[in-house]
A and B are shown apart, each in its own frame.
Chain A
Amino acid sequence: MICTRVKWLIFLLVIITLTSCTFARGNNSKITVTLSGWQSSPNESQLLRRVLQDFEAEHPDIKVKYEVINQQYMDVIKTRLIGDTAPYVFYLDAFEAPLLMQNNVLEPLNTYINDEFDLSDFIPTLLNAFKSNNKIFGLPKDFSTLALFYNQQAFEAAKLTQPPATWTELQQYSQKLTRDWNGDRRIDQYGLGIIPELSRQSFLIKTFGGTLINQNGYATFATPEGLKGLQLIVDLYRKYRTAAQPSDVGASTGSEMFGQGKAAMVIEGSWAIPYLKETFPKLKFATAELPTIAGKKGTMAYTVAYVMNKRTKYKDAAWKLIAFLTSKKGMKAWANQGLVLPSRQSVIAELGYDQNPLYAPFVAGADYATIWQAGETLPTVLTHFNNQFISALIGEQSLNEAMERAQVSANKEIAASQ
């Protein structure tokens, strides 16, 4: 009994000494800036840590505390914003930006930006994703568009030399590429791997003049124009049976099914390039811009920005960090890993991404891409769309019925939450 009491006392003393140590350190003149983001690979955060070391060397009075949040990033950030424990600087996906911009939790950056920073160098569509009422709330750190990956060995075997340039060609190619090698009537190689999510398909809604969400935040995709684009995907999957989802072939992502040779073509972002090179070194593949649909080019673009928490204690230090990370120098150090493309035009040119045959289609896509963002209600619309689109894809109901239901239930929920 006494023994445990002594143990507790020692434990308490240790804690007191430890905490007083941290207090003592806090009194030092160094300012600590907190930074949070996610990582798609351990390499990525290692690289960022190196960039942060450069920053600390340049600003000896600022210390950066970097934390990786891997699971359910936005849920964590939102909860921390509410609890007032959010980091000063954090990653924000364009998709979630409207909610945070509307709710007044981000610091507008206009007053901090000077001429030297060269704002006009950023690709305008990316920057616009983080603008609201003429205020800039975030500076895009990088982006990716979608392009067509094709397996050159599979193309050779099917006597195809060029990537498909139009969607009709894509349909024909995918028929030629769908193969059952061992004759067990289970298809071993599908023509195209698809991911039936709104984040990948929303440009198809626009192709024939449909719109995803109107100005009041209500879903409007279930129109004949909107469905015409989506029908293309459903046709490949159901009518021609030349497309497959990753889960159909036992893969977890599109790039995995492509790498394993279970799909000869797949529509993916530039992040798949380092993954494929590392995980499937023998795979021979190339990329091309997405095929045109009815003569029109289209693709998706995803972008992430650094934003500043409005309740930041040291705003100037936080801005210095953002400015460093999104400056030409900082971006160059960050973006040469090839996962994503730099959001500054000068850095794209300097790193030669627009000349690199693997990356050029992604850069070209930036000119005509649809940014994955559509107002505050997009997360609600997305849930209902994804649910019903899968149901249409596997043939439980027609696309028309499914999308009508998705739209009605999404709008009901939006109306109820207002």
Chain B
Amino acid sequence: MRRVWQRGRFGEGLAGFSFMAPTMIVMGVFTVLPIAYAIFLSFHKVRILGEFDLRFIGGRNFWRMLADERVWIALQNTFEYVVIVVPTQTILALGLALILNSSIRGKHWFRIIFFLPTVTASAVLTLIFMWIYNSNGLLNNILAGFGLPTYNWIGDPSVALKSIMIMNIWSTAPLYMIVYLAALQDIPKSLYEAAKIDGASALDQFFNITLPFLKPVTFFIVVIGIIGTFQLFDQSYIFSAGSGGPNNSTLTVVLLIYQYAFKSLDMGYAAALALMLAAVIMLVTVIQRTIFKEEKLH
């Protein structure tokens, strides 16, 4: 009896695996193997142009990071970017979702308009924004029209990264707005009605019903947001034509990896940097999970 059961289970398992085989093979070849190879490369000095040549150098690539000034600048820029962009875009997304969830007129149109930037390709958005940010461009003309100070948005190292932040917040917040909107519509109306009868104000309702219900979604949005912002590449690449300038102000970790891998062809060091970034992202995610879990216990 037991044997038959086991055989049946084996057959079932085989069927299950064979259904998953295409995905597992594709994942294995294009995700797991490259990761393993990247780990392997990060301990080597690699020469790939001309004759291929690998030399084991132990942890030298990792030590090199500590002394590499540009790694620290890139990390600092990336952290600054994450710390400003993630909270802003999350709060903005929530705000927009709340507005669109209320019964204002023409909210369907607003939904479409708000969502448009997310549908547009980021490369195209960046090019449009470079035009808007131009010293004599739209933004400066509007600012000057109101008598506000104007900036050299792309050329000035102290504002270049902020220009990218503004652009990115504007373009990704709507995506999270949609996620919030879907979550908002899942909250039972009866809770609000009960709260109203108990004499709760709109603010009380927001903090005691809406926010707690949105916590899982917020966790998702913050995690995805942090991973996305840590991997910032295309916007700063286009803004600075690949250099991370002016004066390293738009240099991000992924852009630095790109520069070492494809400009200097130093694959070993680039792989080590990529591992470092992966470790940082994992660490941040683990920290977040513990924070959110602790609160769940209450």
Cross-chain contact of B155 among A103, A247, A396 (Cβ < 8 A) = A247
A380 x B49 contact (CB < 8 A): no
Question: Which B residues are CB-close (under 8 A) to A386?
Answer: 243, 245
User: Which residues of the partner chain B approach A105 to less than 8 Å between Cβ atoms?
Assistant: 49-50
Q: Please tell me if A175 contacts chain B, counting CB pairs below 8 Å.
A: no
Tell me whether B262 is interfacial, beta carbon within 8 Å. yes
Question: Across the two chains, which residue of chain A brings its CB closest to B50?
Answer: A103
Which one of A3-11, A61-69, A73-81, A321-329 contacts B?
A73-81
Q: Is the CB of A82 within 8 A of B48?
A: yes
B88 at the interface (CB under 8 A from A): no
**B264→A417 contact, CB < 8 A:** yes
Check if A53 is an interface residue, CB within 8 A of chain B: no
Quick check: A387 and B248 within 8 Å, CB to CB? yes
Complex partner residue of A417 from B67, B135, B246, B266, CB under 8 angstroms: B266
Instruction: Report if B68 contacts A (CB, 8 A).
Output: yes
Residues of A within 8 A of B64 (CB): 416
Taking a contact as CB atoms under 8 Å apart, the answer to whether B266 and A396 are in contact is no
Specify which of A72, A409, A417 is in contact with B242 (CB 8 Å cutoff).
A72
Taking residues whose C-beta sits less than 8 angstroms from the other chain, chain A's interface range is 20 to 34
Determine whether the beta carbon of A104 is less than 8 Å from that of B51.
yes
Interface string of B35-59 (1 = CB under 8 A from A): 0000000000000111100000000
Give every chain A residue within 8 A of B122 (Cβ-Cβ).
Answer: none
- Please tell me if the beta carbons of B243 and A78 are within 8 angstroms of each other in the complex: no
B18 within 8 A of A: no
B156 proximity list for chain A (CB < 8 A): 394
Kindly state whether residue A383 has any CB partner on chain B within 8 Å.
yes
Q: Which of A78, A104, A105, A416 is most buried by chain B, counting CB atoms within 10 A of its CB? A: A416
The reply on A248 being an interface residue by CB < 8 A is yes
**Is B198 at the interface (CB under 8 A from chain A)?**
no
A99 near B: Cβ within 8 Å?
yes
Residues of A close to B137: CB separation below 8 A: 250
A412: Cβ under 8 A from any B Cβ: yes
Once the chains bind, are B135 and A247 in contact (CB under 8 Å)? yes
Q: Which of B51, B70, B247, B263 is within 8 Å of A390, CB to CB?
A: B247
Cα distance, A248 to B137, chains bound together (Å): 11
Residues of A contacting B135 with CB < 8 Å? 247-250
- Could you tell me if A396 and B68 are in contact, using CB atoms closer than 8 angstroms? no
Asked if A409 and B136 sit within 8 Å, CB to CB, the answer is no
A72 and B240 CA atoms in complex are apart in Å by 13
Chain A min CB distance to B254 (Å): 15
Q: Which of B50, B70, B262 contacts A409 (CB 8 A)?
A: B70
The CA of A249 and the CA of B135, in the complex, are separated in Å by 6
Contact, CB under 8 Å: B247 / A104: no
The distance in angstroms between the C-alpha atoms of A417 and B49, with both chains bound, is: 15
Residue of A nearest to B245 (CB): A387
A103-B49, A249-B135, A416-B67 known; A390 and B157 CB under 8 Å? yes
B69 at the interface (CB under 8 A from A): yes
Q: In the complex, which residues of chain B have a beta carbon less than 8 angstroms from the beta carbon of A81?
A: 49
| Partner of A75 from B48, B152, B263 at Cβ < 8 Å | B263
Instruction: Tell me if A104 and B50 are in contact (CB < 8 A).
Output: yes
Q: Which of A380, A394, A409 contacts B69 (CB 8 A)?
A: A409
Residue from B69, B70, B246, B264 within 8 A of A379 (CB atoms) = B264
Which partner residue on chain B sits nearest A184 by CB separation? B144
Cα–Cα distance between A247 and B263 once the two chains are bound (Å): 25
The residue that B134 contacts in the complex, of A75, A250, A396, with Cβ under 8 A, is: A250
Inter-subunit contact A249/B136 (CB<8 Å):
yes
B161 contacts the other chain (Cβ, under 8 Å)? Answer: no
Interface presence of B223 (CB below 8 A): no
In the complex, what residues of B have CB within 8 A of residue A387's CB? 243-248
Chain B residues near A78: list those with CB within 8 A.
49, 262, 265
Q: Do A412 and B69 touch across chains, with their CB atoms under 8 A apart?
A: yes
Check A107 for interface membership: any CB of B closer than 8 A: no
Given A104-B51, A250-B136, A416-B68, CB of A245 within 8 Å of CB of B155: yes
- Closest Cβ of chain A to B251, distance in Å, is 9
Q: Is the Cβ of A413 less than 8 Å from the Cβ of B68?
A: yes
Task: Name which residue of chain A comes closest to B154, CB basis.
Answer: A247
Residues of chain A lying within 8 A (CB to CB) of residue B152: 247-248
A103 to B70, CA, bound (A): 26
Q: Does A391 contact B (CB under 8 A)?
A: yes
User: Complex: how many Å from CA A388 to CA B269?
Assistant: 24
Partner of A396, one of B51, B247, B263: B247
With contacts A78-B262, A396-B157 taken as known, whether A391 is within 8 angstroms of B247 at the C-beta atoms is yes
Who on chain A is nearest to B65 by CB?
A: A416
Contacts of A100 in B (CB 8 A): 49
Check if B157 sits within 8 Å of A394, measured CB to CB: yes
Within 8 A of B (CB), among A77-128: 78-79, 81-82, 99-100, 103-105
**A-B residue pairs, 9 tightest by C-beta:** A250-B136, A247-B155, A103-B50, A250-B135, A391-B247, A103-B49, A104-B50, A250-B134, A390-B246
Known: A247-B135, A417-B264. 20 other contacts (CB 8 A): A72-B242, A78-B265, A82-B48, A82-B49, A82-B265, A99-B49, A100-B49, A247-B152, A247-B154, A248-B155, A379-B264, A387-B248, A388-B247, A390-B155, A390-B247, A391-B246, A394-B157, A409-B70, A416-B64, A417-B269
Offer 17 A-B interface pairs, CB within 8 angstroms, sorted by A.
Answer: A78-B49, A78-B265, A81-B49, A82-B48, A82-B49, A103-B50, A248-B152, A248-B155, A250-B137, A383-B259, A388-B247, A390-B155, A390-B246, A396-B247, A412-B69, A416-B67, A417-B269
Chain B residues in the interface with A (C-beta under 8 A): 48-51, 64, 67-70, 134-137, 152, 154-157, 242-248, 259, 262-266, 269
Chain A residues with CB under 8 Å of chain B are 72, 75, 78-79, 81-82, 99-100, 103-105, 245, 247-250, 379-380, 383, 386-388, 390-391, 394, 396, 409, 412-413, 416-417
